[in-house]
Structure 1
Amino acid sequence: MSAQENYNISSGDKHVDEEQSNQDEFIDVNEVGEEVYHDEAQAPPPEDEDADDMDEDEDHEHETLEIDMSNNSWSYFDKHEDSVFTIFAHPKLPMVLTGGGDNAAYLWTTHSQPPKFVGEIAGHGESVISGGFTKDGKYLITADMNGLVQVFKATKGGEKWNKFGELNEVGEVLFVTVHPELNYFAFGANDGSIWVYQIDEESKQLVQVMSGFSHTLECNGAVFIPGKDENDLTLVSISEDGTVVNWNCFTGAVNYKLQPHDDFKGVESPWVTIKDHGHVIAVGGRDGQLSIINNDTGKILTSVKTLDNVEDVAELSIEALCWCRNKNINLLAVGLVSGDVLLFDTQQWRLRKNLKVDDAITKLEFIDDTPFLVGSSMNGKIYKWDARTGEESFVGVGHNMGILDFAILENGKKLATAGDEGVSLLFVTE
């Protein structure tokens, strides 16, 4: 059964078709590329129409309308009633899940225009902020800010999702990470704890594998390290307290723990982002510190202070990390609140390029093993760059608030966004 056939379901949410009269208001990809201003001061002022007949409020509304009309999206999903915090794609079907500040999580299709509503993940009583699908696409995990973690199992080829189990171990979940190969997932909490569970198909239960309490402040992120076999389950977690911990999940033992004063030479960086690549791990700090760790040995290979001389220390925070998986391109992309996208040569750890955006970077991700890098920003735009040259190959516009998350679809041909204003947009990049 094809994906198209699989989704012959009626939409639970009626979307208003875009009127033909609005078509002329929309600009194409090439026009967008020409009209991206990295410095807002360089942008031309809005046209002053009937200024004498408008008061300040009306003029402000007019300007907002003009921004809204700059939209090159292919389609949209607007069922959320508050900010969309997270979006992630099913590994095999043309479908995504979005979670928002309205305590709701929705499944919807990405191959139809407009999207078809698949269903709601009910049960959350607070903002849905994280989750993921297992590699085989059979299971879905969602988590909210009240500490509730829910797991659902697909039936009817993904048309229906039945509740498999739930957990409520902590006061607030900060993130969920799903094992890249096996049916395990981990979540970190605001009390510094890290939890690992198995989705056990035989017992039809969620089985606790590990709970770790080595961090003293918020556990902000973690990655599973692919092992040699199913007997090797390793997780590396980071914390606001400046520690990095490598766990043997099956025993709960700490393989190594990196401390600020002993291992990071007195630099106490509140770690907020982590990404692995082979046996090397990158961690990024709220203070702009970037450290590269050999995961096999726990040795710190290099540390870099990414930015200096900023007006506000909050601009230093490293919000996004992504390794290029192309074997011939040795790059690590680093995104900061300052709007800087730094491309580091991973052989010599020299800065190759700085792609400057006019607002905070929220996420970076390379498309498969290509040199093309996708990045989202609080300026409401999503970018696609050629990391070899730094050139923009696509800019998606249409949000009037920041983009908090995105998902890469169809090998980069489409992008799906999570908007702070409560709307998700679908962009065709090619």
Structure 2
Amino acid sequence: MSDQVDQQQNAQEPTEQDEFIDINEVGEEVYEDDENNQPPPEDDEDDMEINEEEGENHETLEIDMSNNSWTYFDKHEDSIFTIFSHPKLPMVFTGGGDNLGYLWTIHSQPPKFVGTIENHKESIISGGFTNDGKFLITADMNGFLQVFKSNKTGEKWNLFGELNEVDEILFVTIHPTLPFFAFGANDGSIWVYQIDENNKSLIQIMSGFSHTLECNGAIFIPGKDENDLTLISISEDGTVINWNCFTGQTNYKLQPNDDFKGVESPWVTIKNYGNLIAIGGRDGQLSIINNDTGKILTSIKTLDNVEDIAELSIEALSWCKNKNINLLAVGLVSGDILLFDTQQWKIRKNLKVDDAITKLEFINDTPILVGSSMDGKIYKWDSRTGELLFTGVGHNMGILDFTITENGKKLITAGDEGVSLVFVD
């Protein structure tokens, strides 16, 4: 293993054209061409007239160029699929359809380039930083996963290890406190690895093969100590499994016929709060599970009477962590955001946007809910009243992901057009 580590290459350092950043430096640069520091317009298709040979037929294509972002990052040449922020530094990672990942700062205007993550052969769709900020994990649609370790300042990221166990990785989830991560695959398998810093290696802890279709999501449940490593995974086949990662055994397995009364929901989203787990299905089914007992507390069909069954899919879940506000936010392809009272499991508010919800997240333990949509906007609501507090505009295509920093003061987006915007509210 030591020979392998010695041969591993560093994440690509910036070229001479790219300024190498000091992570503690707060830049004061602004864009010379745009006093408001907005992304430059795409001038060849904003307004288009087509003059036909005969007659005076005109067709005008109008694009809304309004933009209230603070700054932007536009090195990607394809859709940005994932974005996540460093837990301690003013820095984010973006991964895209150009098979590249970028590290860049969010405290300066414009952002400062930190480095490039290469060697992926397909779109980078998931990853994350470990809780201590030492390690960066990136994964692509070709099943290739890389782990990088930073120096003390976070300016350089060296390749620590790599994996290629499956044909396609669908997601990566990282333990909230310990150096473990898991990923799920299109063949239904789920894998758990430890980042062993002392031995400079990635150690396989578990591989599970009880799902028969795609493993679409998983979450680690924090245990009492390091001897307790629990993971819950969901699948397209309608199963939910609680794993003991150290033994590879299942603590419980929920199945459509036995536990969901014959409803075979293709599960696509999962989030927990304490011992409660919420799972959302592609068919609009929402189920709440008591993880201590493995019992289903309630199952709810969230929407009816939709024109297209695809609008039912639950794409986002977020628990409000304020103990005095008992809410679960549920976002659907229909553009509906349903705020459920978690005591009675009744809808308290129904918010609506113009296109599919892609992500929801409450800001820390506040009642402020952030949501992104394929309508190209990012929103803040007061979940208690449903009042819209902020709308971030500037994308001309959908927002696929976002991250929240500085206790909600900054929202950083991942745009389908390959641009990341930083909003300051």
Give yes or no for TM over 0.5.
yes
- Quick one: which of 378, 393, 403 aligns to 2:374? 378
The whole-number CA distance in structure 2 between the counterparts of 1:270 and 1:110 is 37
- Quick one: which of 175, 183, 189 aligns to 1:187? 183
Inter-CA distance 371–22: structure 2 relative to 1 (3 Å threshold): closer
The whole-number CA distance in structure 2 between the counterparts of 1:21 and 1:328 is 40
Contact 1:84 1:100 in 2 (8 A): yes
- Quick one: which of 278, 292, 295 aligns to 2:291? 295
Q: Which residue of 2 aligns with 1:92?
A: 88
Q: Deviations over 1:167-186 (max 9, x none)?
A: 00000000000000000000
- Quick one: which of 18, 23, 39 aligns to 1:6? 23
Q: Which residue of 2 aligns with 1:352?
A: 348
Contact 2:30 2:109 in 1 (8 A): no
Q: Is residue 2:263 matched to residue 1:263?
A: no
Q: Which residue of 1 aligns with 2:13?
A: none
The whole-number CA distance in structure 1 between the counterparts of 2:30 and 2:148 is 27
Letter in 1 for 2:285: Q
Inter-CA distance 312–415: structure 2 relative to 1 (3 Å threshold): same
Gaps in structure 1 of 5+ consecutive residues:
27-46
Tell me by how many angstroms 1:9 deviates.
11
Tell me by how many angstroms 1:239 deviates.
0.1
SS in 2 for 1:355: strand
Contact 1:9 1:118 in 2 (8 A): no
Tell me by how many angstroms 1:6 deviates.
3.1
Inter-CA distance 124–236: structure 2 relative to 1 (3 Å threshold): same
Contact 2:236 2:265 in 1 (8 A): yes
Tell me by how many angstroms 1:201 deviates.
1.0
Q: Which residue of 2 aligns with 1:170?
A: 166
- Quick one: which of 60, 70, 73 aligns to 1:77? 73
Where does 1:48-63 land on structure 2 (aligned, <5 Å)?
56-57=58-59, 59-60=60-61, 63=62
Inter-CA distance 310–204: structure 2 relative to 1 (3 Å threshold): same
Q: Is residue 2:305 matched to residue 1:309?
A: yes
SS in 1 for 2:153: helix
Tell me by how many angstroms 1:15 deviates.
9.2
Tell me by how many angstroms 1:123 deviates.
1.2
Q: Is residue 2:174 matched to residue 1:157?
A: no
The whole-number CA distance in structure 1 between the counterparts of 2:398 and 2:31 is 23
The whole-number CA distance in structure 2 between the counterparts of 1:22 and 1:187 is 38
Tell me by how many angstroms 1:260 deviates.
0.3
Contact 2:378 2:392 in 1 (8 A): yes
Higher helix content, 1 or 2:
1
Inter-CA distance 352–169: structure 2 relative to 1 (3 Å threshold): same
Q: Which residue of 1 aligns with 2:222?
A: 226
The whole-number CA distance in structure 2 between the counterparts of 1:166 and 1:15 is 38
Tell me by how many angstroms 1:340 deviates.
0.1
Q: Which residue of 2 aligns with 1:109?
A: 105
Contact 1:9 1:116 in 2 (8 A): no
Q: Is residue 2:314 matched to residue 1:318?
A: yes
SS in 1 for 2:310: helix
Where does 1:391-402 land on structure 2 (aligned, <5 Å)?
391-402=387-398
Q: Is residue 2:15 matched to residue 1:19?
A: no
SS in 2 for 1:157: coil
Letter in 2 for 1:6: I
TM-score scaled by length of structure 2? 0.89
Q: Is residue 2:382 matched to residue 1:422?
A: no
SS in 1 for 2:138: strand
Q: Is residue 2:404 matched to residue 1:408?
A: yes
Contact 2:37 2:71 in 1 (8 A): no
Task: Report the aligned-residue RMSD.
Answer: 2.5
Q: Is residue 2:245 matched to residue 1:249?
A: yes
Tell me by how many angstroms 1:17 deviates.
3.9
Contact 1:227 1:234 in 2 (8 A): yes
- Give 4+ residue runs of structure 1 displaced > 6 Å after superposition: 51-54
- Quick one: which of 148, 156, 165 aligns to 2:144? 148
SS in 1 for 2:257: helix
Contact 1:7 1:159 in 2 (8 A): no
SS in 2 for 1:97: strand
Contact 1:376 1:404 in 2 (8 A): yes
Q: Deviations over 1:332-376 (max 9, x none)?
A: 000000000000000000000000111000000000000000000
The whole-number CA distance in structure 2 between the counterparts of 1:313 and 1:410 is 38
The whole-number CA distance in structure 2 between the counterparts of 1:142 and 1:22 is 30
Q: Which residue of 1 aligns with 2:204?
A: 208
- Quick one: which of 98, 123, 127 aligns to 2:119? 123
Letter in 2 for 1:108: W
Inter-CA distance 5–124: structure 2 relative to 1 (3 Å threshold): closer
Q: Which residue of 1 aligns with 2:384?
A: 388
SS in 2 for 1:262: helix
Identity of aligned residues (%): 77
Letter in 1 for 2:23: N
Q: Which residue of 2 aligns with 1:35?
A: none
Contact 1:236 1:245 in 2 (8 A): yes
The whole-number CA distance in structure 2 between the counterparts of 1:310 and 1:18 is 46
Tell me by how many angstroms 1:7 deviates.
4.2
Tell me by how many angstroms 1:225 deviates.
0.3
Letter in 2 for 1:381: K
Tell me by how many angstroms 1:55 deviates.
5.3
Contact 2:23 2:105 in 1 (8 A): no
Q: Deviations over 1:292-334 (max 9, x none)?
A: 0000111000000000000000000000000000010000000
Q: Which residue of 2 aligns with 1:33?
A: none
Contact 2:23 2:90 in 1 (8 A): no
Q: Which residue of 1 aligns with 2:7?
A: none
Inter-CA distance 147–5: structure 2 relative to 1 (3 Å threshold): closer
The whole-number CA distance in structure 2 between the counterparts of 1:17 and 1:299 is 60
Contact 1:408 1:414 in 2 (8 A): yes
